[in-house]
Amino acid sequence: MAEKIISTKSNLQVLHEDNHIIVINKRVGDIVQGDKTGDKPLSEVVKEYLKEKYNKPGEVFLGVVHRLDRPTTGIVVFAKTSKALTRLNELFSNRETQKTYWAVVKNKPPKNEDNLVHFIKRNEKNNTSKAHLKEVPDSKRASLDYKIIKELNNYFALEINLHTGRHHQIRAQLSIIGCPIKGDLKYGFDRSNPDGGIHLHARKLVFIHPVSKEELTILAPTPEDVIWNAV
């Protein structure tokens, strides 16, 4: 099994930084916020990085705005000021952001491009979500658009635009149309990736800067591996 690469303050992939926000390209092994594993979260690594970079005494303020699943890679935004945190929280909860993901799947989707609408029901016990075609009790509507952007030897690369932000939404919705993401054992792929990750990458994020009010477009390079390099 390949070693999971984890971000440290010295290898952190900073995509954008200004006085109010810092945007990181998350690696496969990173957890965004602390969980029951007790592993050091990315938020703590970023704090260490900022403390060292600016030689800050005392505690560094850093607000977690949104999360990515642990096996997923790509864009994560953190707030460096409380003012930015409040405004970013509003932006994300009001869906005033454009999120684009890339995914690699084994089976060709039914259509080259499509809008998928399902009702997602979360199972807290085993931390999964199931996509249903019709509304079921405690389910939430989930919508995304996908299109095939590249045909590889054994795989298909999809670009996904997310309209809602449900738990494991992309993973569950692609799984139910017969296209589980490469490496995603939880959602029906037949074997894991060597690094324990899945081929789902938060590729692009467009949003209005919480303080300057300028539109920001952030792009995250894909991880170094044979398949992503082919995409």
Residues annotated as part of the active site: 69
Rounded to 5°, angle at Cα 41 from 104 and 204? 35
